[in-house]
Structure 1
Amino acid sequence: MKALAVACALAGLINALPASAADTPISGNGETSMVIRKNYPTLPAPAGPYSVSVRHNGTLYLSGMTAFGTSAQGKDIAKQAEAIFEQVKRVTQAEGITMRDLIKVTIFVTSMDEVGALREVLSKHYDGAYPASSLVRVAGLFSPEVNIEVEAVFAIPG
């Protein structure tokens, strides 16, 4: 119950956050590159002070994504994974990339009992272009209704 109260409190911060943060130039060794931080109107708003994605030097980093705020919240890991990868695909569409550009995922689960079903979901969404991957069992995530969190890194072609 305490975790749910924290999640609800964090959700109260949603309206205080900008839809998209400003670009930030980074300088070093005489070169300047841009860091682009984004949130997406087609996704649940971040429940804290972070960006959904950060783009830098041809790489797109996605924050940990969960099924919180979707119809899969509170469901099994496979259903939550489906909801998460639908969100990831919305990001790839917005960024002009595909799941084939996925180079690394880190997946946090609260139970290893459903790993077989999770692997089926992953195989479907990876479409044969398997990324580097880590699967980590954790004691819990920010809400008891969240059983999986996925971080992703994409290569931006070009």
Structure 2
Amino acid sequence: MKALAVACVLAGLINALPASAADSPISANGETSVITRKNYPSLPEPAGPYSVSVRHNGTLYLSGMTAFGTPAQGKDIARQTEAIFEQIKRVTQAEGIGMRDLIKVTIFVTSMDEVGALREVLSKNYGGAYPASSLVRVAGLFSPEVNIEIEAVFAVPG
């Protein structure tokens, strides 16, 4: 019964942490690890119930990022992609990693018409360290002014 009371108290403390950084210890097979959920002051607050990044066991997962709320909103795919990578680079800088640590991207586009321009921007931002990648055409994203969304997974050394 004491263990349940302690778990309830800890759960309350974890949920009371600010949305900008919340650590959640988890246990499996007698080993404990920590999941860290984070938002970043240099990026807009999430519009829904999610974190910009989640870090676990040496891996950093980024939620889908778009150009929504940036000057690139409503612009062509190349400009939106550049705006997304500016946001991604702010996160990597805050986390002490770089684009060479990028493992995987999943890219959602509403049209395949500008894939050539997209690939040019991607190549420039990857700097030769190409991640595993998926490109998916979707019927639409959450706003008609957004035509690309990028999810990313990074290795975190150490």
Q: Which residue of 1 aligns with 2:96?
A: 96
Give the letter for the 1:131 counterpart: P
The CA deviation at 1:45 is 1.2
Matched, 1:58 2:58: yes
Note the residue ranges of structure 2 that are not aligned, 5 or more in a row.
1-17
Note the residue ranges of structure 1 that are not aligned, 5 or more in a row.
1-17
Q: How do 1:3-152 and structure 2 match up within 5 A?
A: 18-152=18-152
Give the letter for the 2:56 counterpart: H
Q: TM-score, normalised by structure 2?
A: 0.88
1:98-154 deviations in Å (ceiling 9; x for gaps) = 000000000000000000000000000000000000000000000000000000000
**In 2, Cα distance between the equivalents of 1:39 and 1:47?**
11
Aligned length: 141
Give the letter for the 2:45 counterpart: A
Q: TM-score, normalised by structure 1?
A: 0.88
After the TM superposition, list the runs of 4 or more consecutive aligned residues in structure 1 that deviate by more than 3 angstroms.
Answer: none
Kept after mapping to 2: 8 A contact 1:19/1:41: no
Identity %: 89
1:48-95 deviations in Å (ceiling 9; x for gaps) = 000000000000000000000100000011100000000000000000
Partner secondary structure for residue 22 of structure 2: coil
Partner secondary structure for residue 108 of structure 1: strand
